[in-house]
Structure formats: structure tokens, C-alpha cells
Structure 1
Amino acid sequence: MKYRNQTTISEFLLLGLTDDLALQPLIFSLFLSMYLVTILGNLLIILAIYSDSHLHTPMYFFLSNLSFNDICLSTTTVPKMLVNIQSQDQSISYTGCLSQVCFVLVFTILENFLLAGMAFDRYVAICHPLRYTAIMNPHLYVSLLQSSLLISTMDAFLHTLLVLRLSFCIDLEIPHFFCELAEVIELACSDTLINNILVFVAACVFAGFPLSGIIFSYIHNVSSVLRMPSSEGKHKAFSTCGSHLSVVFLFYGTGFGVYISSAVTDSPRKTVVASVMYSVVTQMLNPFIYSLRNRDMKEALRKLIGRIAFPP
């Protein structure tokens, strides 16, 4: 089979969700709406937390960074898709594709760490309430964020550098609406064993360990809550964890859904439709989950919107 060296590749082709031209305007409108809702909703969460001193706590520190991360992740993929639909051009440059691969990895891995950090915060608050302020001090949670960002960036750069060494075939069509690492590796004609091993190890470490930590923390949380004598205390404890658990189920549930769909179907397009859930829909729904299920967030958002609509 003929192949080209990576230095001669100028672009890839993103096939998107469908070949049906009649559906393109509908897909454009749908994704534009979801993107705008994602940006607006997450910005409101960030502004509400920033403007309300009562929310200057570790839990909401992680939440504001999760919202910012969701904005970045959506911005990495959706605008390019919208531009391609509008211009009826499926191409993405070689540099642009690898940049997408890198940034999607950074923000996806960081999302895992942020969800784990929020679970750890709830674990300390429920299981060790008297030591909460001593344990969850600003130095700790800022250090956790910085180290998570550093690890995410280093892993993403490593994957991207290993892709740079690959040679690609004449067929450069990616059956996706953005450059996903696994899809790019699959197009390579050279040996991809190292790439695939690293993908598997990274998935186990950067998804498996945070998820294990979340499960561990909530096992202890539930055990501690059930031992509380007050029903009001139980309700308050469960309500503070409900929003976070909903986001965890949404993020990991859709991720596993994509994995299962890719395993049971031979159609790449069906897998792409499933991947929309974890790469677009999750980021859009997170602000609604926190604003609707969290009383403190609802109050902060009400005050913020009141100040915006009726300035003094």
C-alpha cells in the first residue's frame, strides 16, 4: 500500500456525523445552539462563584475550574465543525488536527482529575468534618489543580509527539467531527504498537484511578451518612453530593457508552453519534445539573442574574 511520510501531509478530512447534505443545516443549528448554551451556562457558573463570597470554598473552586475546562473542551472541537459545515469543506490541516488531538486529551484528562478532586472534597467534608478546614486548605487544592494540569499536559504532549513519528496512508478520512487520537492512529500505515499501548495505559491510569478514587470516596460517604442520627443531616449530606454524582454518572456513563458502542457496532458513524454525548452534551448539561440540584448555586445565580438584569 502506498503511504506518505508525515512531513508531506497537508490535511485530513473530517467526515462529520452524516453525508446527507439535507441534514447539514439542522446539524449546524443544533450544534451551534448546544455550543452557545455550553458557553453561557458555564460562564454563569464561574461568575456566580466568583461574585458570591459564600461560594469561595474548595468544592466551588473545583466546580469553577470544571466549568472553565468544559468551555475549553467544547471550543476545541465544535467551532471547527461549524466552520466546516458552513463552508462545505471537510478538511482540517495536519497541524490543526494534531492540535485538536492534544487539547482534547488535555481537557478530557483534566476533567477526570477535577471530578476526583471534587469527590475527595466531599469525602473530607462528610467523613472528617472537624478537620475539613485544616485538610482542604488553599495550598492543597491549588496544588492539586496545578499538578493535574501538568500531568494532563505532559500526557497529551507525549501522545502527540508519538503521532508525529507515524506515516499515513493515502486515505486520510477521519469518520468523526473532530480529530480523536484513536481515529488518527488508525489511519497510520506505520507501526502503531507503541501508540496503542500508551493509549491503553493512559486510559487505565488517567480514567481508572480517578474513577476508583471517586467510588472509594462515595462508599465511605454513604457509610458515614447512614450513621448520622439526624434525618436532616442525612438529607443535607446527600444533597451536597447529588450534583457531583450526577455529573460523574453523565461523564463516565457516556464515555463507557462510546466504548461499548464501538465494540458492538461496525459502523464508525454510530460510534461518532455516541461520542457526541461525552464530548458535547455533557459539557452543556453540567451547569444545569449544578444550578438545579444545588441550593447554594441557585441562590448565587439568582443574585447574579438580578444584578445583571437590574443594575444598581
Structure 2
Amino acid sequence: MTEGNHSTVIKFILSGLTEKPELQLPLLLLFLGIYMLTAVGNLGMITLIGLSSHLHTPMYYLLSSLSFIDLCHSTVITPKMLVNFVTEKNVISYPECMTQLYFFLVFAISECHMLAAMAYDRYVAICKPLLYNVTMSSQVCCWMVAGVYSMGLLGATAHTVCMLRVLFCKEDVINHFFCDLFPLLELSCSSTFINEVVVLCLSAFNILLPALTILTSYIFIIASILRIRSTAGRTKAFSTCSSHISAVAVFFVSAAFMYLQPSSVSSMDQGKVSSVFYTMIVPILNPMIYSLRNKDVKLALRKSFQKINFQ
């Protein structure tokens, strides 16, 4: 029977995080809890920013977009992964696998570039405050967000089209908890040279370019902060950037560990661990980092609770 790209394999089996029966229930409860907190945290952040007029600024417009990406990113992966803990075999059809791969890549790539856009926003706010309203106008923000999603769509399309040309003949067990690039390429019975070149090139572009943008922005930011004479001014400037730096570090380190090395070198078992970080831990950390370490968000939360109590 032929499917899509002339593969004889019409379905795959996801091996999941672990095969140890005693860990299935604890992991199910853990990741179900993480997913519920991720959904509540990111939906709450989007709603809070939308309802609080003093949060209608470029910084929080980008943050609400990041929360949307995190929510979608987690939703693409987690529900199917949870099925693996309650079924003997977590089967996913070939079309479903390619669809999951596509949307995972859309939101993963978009997150890389969204973090870079947020770093640029902080650079303009701290290094060029008098030009901030002009440089980061609502029109510019809309174009930046559109550009971020365009990069995600283009990158995901290129990877998925290359994957559709790969033949899967015998092995059907994916050594991962979702349909990812390298685990799928390991099952190929045709040449994957082009795919690996595309993966490394696009991964370098979508990870290293945003990382360099972030690094450059923060070099200028730190230099500008050190020129501030008052201690209070330096502390305030650092506090506006520290949450973003924390989110960036976790995401890029785990993503780079998975994608910026040849598949022959990478260990899929280690890759699963790094994948957990950028698919499930980062989406839950971002709303926590930006809410607990941001005075404007805490003020908006306090006002929202006060309105609820008065009603």
C-alpha cells in the first residue's frame, strides 16, 4: 500500500519518554499538570494584556504573541504524548505525523524569532528611549510579528517538503515522543543527505541568527546600563531584561543541543530530554517568569483581582 511519498509505512509508533511501566502514571500526572498550567498561564497572560490598558505597549504586544506561540507549541506536542502513557502502543498515522511535524516546526521557529524581536524591543527602549515610540510603533510591531510567523511558515514548509520525499520502508517505531526531524530521518530507507543539510542550514539560520541578534542587542543594552549613574536606574533597567534573558537561555540551549549537531553524533535519548525543555518546560516557564518578575504585570493582576472582588 502506497502513502503520500511512496512509503510503504502508513503509520508510526511513538516510543515515548520511557518504557518503564512504573513511571507511566507519575509521568502522565506530571505532564498533564504541566500542560494545564501552561494553558492557564499563557491564556491568562494573553487575556490580562488584552484587558489591561496600561499593558497596551509594544513590549506586551510581543509578549502576548509569545504566549500564543507557547500555547500552540505545547498543544501540538503534549496531548499526543500523554496518550503514550495510557496505551500500549501510541500509533500515529503518516499524515498525522507530517502534520504534527509541520506545526511543531512553525511554532518552534516562530519562538526563536519572537525572542529576537523582543530583545530588539528592549534594545530600543533602553538605548534609544527618545525614539522608542517612533521605532516601535504599532505598525512596526505588526510587521515584526507578521515577519516572525512568516519565518516559521517558510522554515516549516521547507523541512516538511524535504521530509515528504523520504522513503520509509521497514522500521516504524519513532524513538521519540513526537514526530521530530532527526528521529524520523533515522527510519529512512532512502538517502537523507539533502534533508540533513537542510536541517543544519535552516537550524543554524533559525537558531544562530536570532541568538546573534539577542546577543548583540544585550551587548548594547549592558553597555548602556553601565553608563547610567544612579543605582536605582541601573537596577530598573536590568530588571526589565532579566526575565527575557532567562527565557532565552533555557530555550536556545535546549534547541541548539538537539539541532546544531549531526544526527550521527546526537543521542536520541539525550535529545528527548532537551526536547522536553523547549516543548513543555519553556511554555510553562515564560508566563511565570514574565509575571513574577514584572511589576507592570503584577500590578495588572492585582487590579484584575480587585475588580473581581468588588463585583
SS in 2 for 1:86: coil
Aligned-pair distance for 1:171? 0.8
Aligned-pair distance for 1:147? 1.6
- Residue 121 to residue 146, structure 1, CA distance change in 2 (3 Å): same
Corresponding residue for 2:170?
Answer: 170
- Residue 52 to residue 284, structure 1, CA distance change in 2 (3 Å): same
Q: For residues 153 and 51 of structure 1, what CA distance do their matches in structure 2 show?
A: 29
Aligned-pair distance for 1:263? 8.3
Q: Would the aligned equivalents of 1:174 and 1:184 in 2 still touch at CA under 8 Å?
A: yes
Corresponding residue for 2:129?
Answer: 129
Corresponding residue for 1:254?
Answer: 254
Q: Would the aligned equivalents of 1:261 and 1:270 in 2 still touch at CA under 8 Å?
A: no
Q: Would the aligned equivalents of 1:261 and 1:271 in 2 still touch at CA under 8 Å?
A: no
Q: For residues 65 and 115 of structure 1, what CA distance do their matches in structure 2 show?
A: 10
Q: Does 1:189 align with 2:189?
A: yes
Corresponding residue for 1:36?
Answer: 36
- Residue 304 to residue 166, structure 1, CA distance change in 2 (3 Å): same
Q: Does 1:201 align with 2:201?
A: yes
Corresponding residue for 1:71?
Answer: 71
Q: In terms of mean alpha carbon deviation, does 222-231 or 258-267 score higher? A: 258-267
- Residue 88 to residue 97, structure 1, CA distance change in 2 (3 Å): same
Corresponding residue for 1:180?
Answer: 180
CA deviation vs aligned residue, 1:139-191 (integer Å, no higher than 9, x gap): 11100111221121022112111111111131111111111111112211111
Corresponding residue for 1:144?
Answer: 144
SS in 2 for 1:87: coil
Aligned-pair distance for 1:265? 8.1
Q: For residues 290 and 210 of structure 1, what CA distance do their matches in structure 2 show?
A: 20
Q: Would the aligned equivalents of 1:254 and 1:275 in 2 still touch at CA under 8 Å?
A: yes
Paired AA for residue 191 in structure 1: S
Q: Would the aligned equivalents of 2:12 and 2:92 in 1 still touch at CA under 8 Å?
A: yes
TM-score normalised by the chain length of structure 1 = 0.93
Paired AA for residue 105 in structure 1: L
Corresponding residue for 1:291?
Answer: 291
SS in 1 for 2:13: strand
Corresponding residue for 1:17?
Answer: 17
TM-score normalised by the chain length of structure 2 = 0.93
Aligned-pair distance for 1:257? 4.5
Count, aligned residues: 309
Corresponding residue for 1:86?
Answer: 86
Corresponding residue for 1:277?
Answer: 277
Q: Would the aligned equivalents of 2:174 and 2:183 in 1 still touch at CA under 8 Å?
A: yes
SS in 2 for 1:12: strand
Aligned-pair distance for 1:212? 0.2
Q: For residues 261 and 154 of structure 1, what CA distance do their matches in structure 2 show?
A: 22
Corresponding residue for 2:300?
Answer: 300
Q: For residues 303 and 24 of structure 1, what CA distance do their matches in structure 2 show?
A: 41
Q: For residues 109 and 259 of structure 2, what CA distance do their matches in structure 1 show?
A: 16
Q: Would the aligned equivalents of 1:18 and 1:269 in 2 still touch at CA under 8 Å?
A: no
Paired AA for residue 127 in structure 2: C
- Residue 301 to residue 140, structure 1, CA distance change in 2 (3 Å): same
Greater RCO, CA 8 A, separation 6+? 1
Q: For residues 82 and 228 of structure 2, what CA distance do their matches in structure 1 show?
A: 51
Q: Would the aligned equivalents of 2:83 and 2:90 in 1 still touch at CA under 8 Å?
A: no
Aligned-pair distance for 1:31? 0.8
Corresponding residue for 2:234?
Answer: 234
- Residue 160 to residue 267, structure 1, CA distance change in 2 (3 Å): closer
Q: Would the aligned equivalents of 2:6 and 2:167 in 1 still touch at CA under 8 Å?
A: yes
Q: For residues 170 and 304 of structure 2, what CA distance do their matches in structure 1 show?
A: 54
Aligned-pair distance for 1:16? 0.4
Q: For residues 221 and 304 of structure 1, what CA distance do their matches in structure 2 show?
A: 32
Aligned-pair distance for 1:270? 3.5
- Residue 202 to residue 72, structure 1, CA distance change in 2 (3 Å): same
Q: Would the aligned equivalents of 1:66 and 1:114 in 2 still touch at CA under 8 Å?
A: yes
Corresponding residue for 1:224?
Answer: 224
Aligned-pair distance for 1:306? 3.9
Q: Would the aligned equivalents of 2:182 and 2:263 in 1 still touch at CA under 8 Å?
A: no
- Residue 194 to residue 260, structure 1, CA distance change in 2 (3 Å): closer
Alignment of 1:78-117 (within 5 A): 78-117=78-117
RMSD (CA atoms): 2.1
Any gaps of 5 or more consecutive residues in structure 2?
Answer: none
